[in-house]
Amino acid sequence: MTALTQEALIERLSAIVGADKVRTDADSLETFGKDWTKIYEPKPTAIVFPKTTEQVRDIVLLANEHRLALVPSGGRTGLSAGAVAADGEIVVAFDYMNQITDFNAVDRTVKCGAGVVTEQLHNYAEEQGLFYPVDFASSGSSQIGGNISTNAGGIKVIRWGMTRDWVAGLTVVTGQGDILELNKDLVKNNTGYDMRQLFIGGEGTLGFITEATMRLTRQPRNLTVLVLGVPELDDVMKVLNQFQSQMDLTAFEFFSDKAMQKVLARGDVPAPFETSTDFYALIEFEAVTEADMDLAMTVFEQCLEQGWVMDGVISQSETQAANLWRLREDISETISHWTPYKNDISVVVSRVPPFLRDIDEIVTREYPDFEIIWFGHIGDGNLHLNILKPDDLPKDEFFARCANVSKWVFEIVEKYAGSVSAEHGVGRTKKPYLEYTRSKEELAYMRAVKAVFDPNNVMNPGKLVDL
């Protein structure tokens, strides 16, 4: 192994992808060297833009030859520093691998390059009269390769599941530079280990996904949104049970009044109704017939009679439904002004109320001077805890204070057999806390798997697990 000078490195990378697909200017290093986390300063050596799987393979082979660290970059919307290049890594950006090809109407599948934007796939599916159901606030910029690498969830999990449920096949370049075609798009394939699943949620630590065959489904019909004002947290789960026992829901979200007030303060989204409550539930369902709407109103009235709901509104148009969704979907963007410290945690649905109470009690006690914002996909047990930075508190001091309490939060996660990262991945920020969700034996096996696929530790090192 010989060390490469900066000039020689750029020359070798240019020979693989072309000189116009290698960038070292300050703006590119800043933009492509980070994701949505604000904890680490980006310091990549170069940004490289491959256009083919073979070019990705050649980049990986070069990295192995000279022990160069590679970091994958998609839409850079991650919240766990999984795509941050803070230690001189080479960033492999998939923006040019953004083609959608090989649509199959019979199989309801389509091939996507790793750089296909999530919204691009949504629109393509709609053009074919079909539906790609994985959706979240960052769908306009997140990329399919990143979604798969973090097993993205989002707002429709209660009905349609996580990203892994929609991946029919993968093309990957392993850390050793091998190109693997995984599962070949089969529905049934009982021929041993499903290595596709290792790369789903693997955060690029075993290799890089370059292409994926994604499954599609029928389009939902007349999606209707109901927002309810709920006085007590326990009542949110009672409302969920009441609706789920009688209807098939496509989404069930919750947010605190503090979260909604932040969105309303912007002035471009109206309040759902005049009544103020501590919590709100957003329910989405298909209203195909008059009977579906009548049933929803009947269940709503049952919740009112029980005192679980104080007020509510149901969408009468697509525009109104979109505005009601904004009460929930605009929270993350709205609170980003306060540089929030985020925790993305989960437990089984039945344990949500006591779990959230325990977390809220300790956070309120330890952060008396911080504003706490709660929201999340409560229908699948996923909660987002956001602690807002006071304007006069330096960022480093703020994150240090939050990190101290994270240990107590994750002890509660462990107590309830939950996850320290429900859908945002592990990256750098959650890696120190994996032991609260994974056993020592599991972590040892994870490191062993990493060593098989990436023996030289060139694939997104420092993220998820260490060799």
With a pLDDT cut of 90, the percent of the chain lying above it is 87
> Is 192 found in the same domain as 85?
yes
Average pLDDT, the chain: 95
Average pLDDT for 239-244: 96
Among 207-211, 235-239, 402-406, 423-427, which stretch is predicted with the lowest mean pLDDT? 402-406
> Is 237 found in the same domain as 189?
no
Please report the pLDDT score of residue 1 as a whole number: 58
Residue 229 has pLDDT above 90, yes or no: yes
Residue 215 binned pLDDT confidence (cut-offs 50, 70, 90):
very high
The top-scoring range by mean pLDDT among 37-46, 95-104, 135-144 is: 95-104
Long-range contacts of 3-7 (CB under 8 A, 24+ apart): 3/66, 4/66, 4/68, 6/45
> Is 448 found in the same domain as 370?
no
State which of 332, 347, 376 marks the end of a domain.
Answer: 332
> Is 115 found in the same domain as 213?
yes
Please report the pLDDT score of residue 451 as a whole number: 98
Among 107-111, 371-375, 441-445, which stretch is predicted with the lowest mean pLDDT? 371-375
Residue 364 binned pLDDT confidence (cut-offs 50, 70, 90):
confident
Q: What is the three-state SS of the chain?
A: CCCCCHHHHHHHHHHHHCHHHEECCHHHHHHHCCCCCCCCCCCCCEEECCCCHHHHHHHHHHHHHHCCCEEEECCCCCCCCCCCCCCCCEEEECCCCCCEEEEECCCCEEEEECCCEHHHHHHHHHHCCEECCCCCCCCCCCEHHHHHHCCCCCCCHHHHCCHHHHEEEEEEEECCCCEEEECCCCCCCCCCCCCHHHHCCCCCCCEEEEEEEEECEECCCCEEEEEEEECCHHHHHHHHHHHHCCCCEEEEEEEEHHHHHHHHCCCCCCCCCCCCCCEEEEEEEECCCHHHHHHHHHHHHHHHHHCCCCEEEECCCHHHHHHHHHHHHCHHHHHHHHCCEEEEEECCHHHHHHHHHHHHHHHHHHCCCCEEEEEEEHHHCEEEEEEECCCCCCHHHHHHHHHHHHHHHHHHHHHCCCECECCCCCCCCCHHHHHHCCCHHHHHHHHHHHHHHCCCCCECCCCCCCC
Provide the number of structural domains found in the chain: 3
Please report the pLDDT score of residue 341 as a whole number: 87
Residue 456 has pLDDT above 90, yes or no: yes
The top-scoring range by mean pLDDT among 125-129, 342-346, 348-352, 371-375 is: 125-129
Q: What CATH number does residue 92 fall under?
A: 3.30.465.10
State which of 281, 311, 332 marks the end of a domain.
Answer: 332
> Is 184 found in the same domain as 82?
yes
Residue 2 binned pLDDT confidence (cut-offs 50, 70, 90):
low
pTM above 0.85, yes or no: yes
> Is 198 found in the same domain as 143?
yes
Model pLDDT for residues 259-298, shown as the tens digit of each residue: 999 999 999 999 999 999 999 999 999 999 999 999 999 9
Please report the pLDDT score of residue 304 as a whole number: 97
Name the residue with tokens 């116009």.
20
Q: What CATH number does residue 301 fall under?
A: 3.30.70.2190
> Is 236 found in the same domain as 351?
no
Please report the pLDDT score of residue 356 as a whole number: 87
> Is 303 found in the same domain as 394?
no
Residues of the domain holding 232:
223-332
Residue 407 has pLDDT above 70, yes or no: yes
